[in-house]
Chain A
């Protein structure tokens, strides 16, 4: 009788371990997919920038400095290695791009150009996609990391050697924060 009881306990613990392990693997795959999504959008951005710079060069002859900075920031971002460095370089690229867009406001003929308009929409959208992909990646990576750290999941994470994922953080004062929701307010 006692032996059967013991077996049942062991079986339950094993089941739990399998369940936990699978949950961690599922999260890990989501993190990998999240990172791929960022990667796709970053590549798109890197491809678009030379195009934009070539198109606006003729109009913005007095802004050669800014254009050069954009290209430099882009090249630095392309050659960045690892999540932390990529995050830093991409952050810088975002900043110079914002500056370029602001400067473009001063050139009405430039803004009227259909080609430029199309490119600008393309880049705006890609910027948004980069930041949303980052937002999603960070959320899921945080979840993955927490799942590895809390007891008793950490036992499984240790046994199978799960490593916490690095977050994709950029240094940017204008970073949008998570809004807080309070639906308990009186209706």
Chain B
């Protein structure tokens, strides 16, 4: 019964996952870049198609630079990118309007034993909240103006506790990196598409000669490469799915463990659910960071295997049921 989500296990898993995803991402870019070298520039330094031919692997080097660069940048500046894409602004010092929010964030940070995250406001009337950053020492919590107007103090505490749980277990690092990398993949597929349009038209200087068995191999590799390039936006979607629904349930549970008040978060979720308008300020890439889906996608209201695979958030009704069950286990008479 008392199987609390083990925060240290989660932290470890999230750190590993971040490294894995960054490595996969760089490999994937390298593969695409090498294909570009192979089929457009006609250089094959590794000898994939038989004999190694010289020539500077421009595509590979560029792609690896872009991939490595955006991964490093994602770690260092991902949070700022997420916040500025949502037009978030930091709360002014000692503004009585945001006093309660500041107090609540400080309270929950004490409960979690982490430094107080920096607090940002997203100018949007729809209630929502997100957390981002590299680690608990460099973390940010942003809430919409709509959230402050909608929920009461206890409910705000529940929402903040959910976000602080994402901070403490390093979900923020993984999800922020994914948000940044997904953006880079979109850029790449755009770039690849353009290269293809121009590449085929203008005759390439030394396009590889395809002949015999070698030709068949090259054709297969070319097909795989082309498909990978075309499918890259879908692959990025799969990456984003590494951030499964389970994460939201866990953050709900750990948040309730921090505040000892599952019903407050349940109440907040009810209010967030009934405000069904999408949060326009929050971009698609940051959806995984939010407490409720900012896009209001239908997929997230559904259950079942397919919805579990593609959904970013669990159905809110299900989350409320869980939280109420937790409350019932504490005080069987009042819940």
B binding-site residues for A, Cβ under 8 Å: 1-5, 96, 99-100, 103-104, 106-108, 110-113, 153, 157, 246, 249-250, 253, 256-258, 260-262, 303, 308, 314, 318, 322, 325-327, 329-331
Q: Which residues of A contact B249 (CB under 8 A)?
A: 183
Q: List 26 A-B contacts (CB under 8 A).
A: A30-B113, A118-B96, A128-B107, A128-B157, A132-B108, A132-B111, A135-B111, A136-B112, A136-B113, A176-B330, A179-B260, A179-B262, A179-B330, A180-B326, A181-B2, A181-B3, A181-B253, A181-B257, A181-B326, A182-B3, A182-B326, A183-B322, A184-B3, A187-B308, A187-B314, A187-B318
Do B113 and A140 touch across chains, with their CB atoms under 8 A apart? Answer: yes
Q: Which residues of B contact A128 (CB under 8 A)?
A: 103, 107, 157
* Interface residue A185 (Cβ < 8 Å from any Cβ of B): yes
* Interface residue A73 (Cβ < 8 Å from any Cβ of B): no
8 A Cβ contacts from A30-64 to B:
30, 34, 37, 41
Q: Across the interface, name the chain A residue whose C-beta is closest to B250.
A: A183
Do A37 and B110 touch across chains, with their CB atoms under 8 A apart? Answer: yes
Do B106 and A180 touch across chains, with their CB atoms under 8 A apart? Answer: no
In the bound complex, CA of A41 to CA of B111 (Å): 12
8 A Cβ contacts from A4-47 to B:
30, 34, 37, 41
Do B100 and A129 touch across chains, with their CB atoms under 8 A apart? Answer: no
Q: Across the interface, name the chain A residue whose C-beta is closest to B261.
A: A176
8 A Cβ contacts from A108-147 to B:
118, 121-122, 124-125, 128-129, 132-133, 135-136, 140
In the bound complex, CA of A61 to CA of B3 (Å): 51
* Interface residue A173 (Cβ < 8 Å from any Cβ of B): no
* Interface residue A178 (Cβ < 8 Å from any Cβ of B): yes
Do B325 and A185 touch across chains, with their CB atoms under 8 A apart? Answer: yes
* Interface residue A65 (Cβ < 8 Å from any Cβ of B): no
Q: Which residues of A contact B246 (CB under 8 A)?
A: 183
A binding-site residues for B, Cβ under 8 Å: 30, 34, 37, 41, 118, 121-122, 124-125, 128-129, 132-133, 135-136, 140, 176-185, 187
Q: Which residues of A contact B157 (CB under 8 A)?
A: 128
Q: Across the interface, name the chain B residue whose C-beta is closest to A137.
A: B113
Do A183 and B3 touch across chains, with their CB atoms under 8 A apart? Answer: yes
Chain A proximity of B331: nearest CB distance (Å): 8
Q: Which residues of A contact B262 (CB under 8 A)?
A: 179
Q: Which residues of B contact A122 (CB under 8 A)?
A: 103
Q: Which residues of A contact B153 (CB under 8 A)?
A: 124
Q: Across the interface, name the chain B residue whose C-beta is closest to A139.
A: B113
Choose one: A121, A183, A187; the contact of B303 (CB below 8 Å).
A187
Given contacts A121-B99, A179-B256, A183-B249, contact A34 B318 (CB under 8 A): no
Do B326 and A179 touch across chains, with their CB atoms under 8 A apart? Answer: yes
